[in-house]
Amino acid sequence: MSSVKSTRVDEVALPSSRTTAIGRLADYLELTKPRIAVMALFTVAVGYYLASAGVWHVGRLLHALFGIALVAAASSALNQYIERKTDACMERTSNRPIPGGRLLPREVLLFALSAGVIGCLYLSLAVNWTTAALAAVTLLVYAAVYTPLKRYTALCTAVGAVAGALPPVLGWTAAAGRLELGSLVLFGIMFLWQFPHFVAIGWLYRDDYERAGLKMLPTAASSPRVTGLLCVGYALALVPMSLLAARAGLAGEGFFIAATILGAGYVASAVRFMLDETRRTARGVIYASLVYLPLLLLLLTWDHYRLLQ
């Protein structure tokens, strides 16, 4: 069944109940993975504020958010275009706009390329060339490197984490016009945060990935507790990385204490998963990650604001 469906996604759009203008708009919105995009744009805003040194230019931030949102939409749409056949083989992705037959592949490709080119050009004109160049790198790493690598090696997770860690750096360069120590600290936090989160997701859907021929981390044949150990290792490494924000002058001792407590909670969720690898504890890691990151960044922003007063 999956092989038939994956062939048809290259030919014609299948009949769908969502043929109205509103339905098609909803499908294009789904292409952009809006929940992920909102989280990324939140980190962009944090990076922008931290680099602003108390000089807040809302107009430039809005320009940056608009351009980066277009590039993020392009990245997600290109990912779904490239993976349209494997998406059709997996239960959790089989109803996406292309395998679900609601959008043609060529429509999605045109949308993705247009959004990517317009987004990068907009950033170069309305923000700065540094941000535009880094946005283009993010798009290329995610769509042209990470996505194809998923068919060949589990190391794709590390490559994808590079692209996922760049949004706050884009926010930083939008404000400062250059890379600085603070932007590298933000990159490190985002890079390490992703591993327990996505490894837990990979564990939950490992059979799905295996059927689709995607070599995600972990594999269906991974030994017991190996996945949990990976989660614990990265969660532990995240703690000192987050504390570097205070040492880099982005925050004070209050953030240092809060980051330690939040990090301990993230590590605890990973340890529970390691000791008892179940769907419940895997979801616990995911939920902990989704609490950890916004709270950490909000506390970092608040403590930075306090230091500037």
Verdict on whether the full-model pTM lies above 0.85 = yes
- Largest Cα–Cα separation, the chain: 63
Judge whether 120 and 67 are in contact, CB under 8 Å: yes
- pLDDT score for 274: 93
* CA–CA separation, 299 and 86 (whole Å): 39
**Closest listed residue to residue 256, CA positions, set 246, 248, 268, 241:** 246
Predicted confidence (pLDDT) per residue in 160-218, tens digit: 999 999 999 999 999 999 999 999 999 999 999 999 999 999 888 888 888 878 877 66
Predicted confidence (pLDDT) per residue in 62-108, tens digit: 999 999 999 999 999 999 999 999 888 888 888 999 999 999 999 99
**Omega of the bond leading into 218 within 30 degrees of 0 (cis):** yes
Judge whether 146 and 132 are in contact, CB under 8 Å: no
Distances in whole angstroms, Cα of residue 11 to Cα of each of 23, 31, 281: 21, 19, 41
CATH architecture for segment(s) 1-178: Orthogonal Bundle (1.10)
- pLDDT score for 169: 98
And the tokens for 83? 């993976």
Judge whether 285 and 197 are in contact, CB under 8 Å: yes
HSE-CB of 218 using CA atoms within 13 angstroms = 18
Vertex 153 angle, CA 147 and 155, to 5°: 85
* CA–CA separation, 53 and 74 (whole Å): 31
- The model's confidence at residue 224, banded by pLDDT at 50, 70 and 90, is low
Report the C-alpha dihedral over residues 23, 74, 150, 2, rounded to 10 degrees.
20
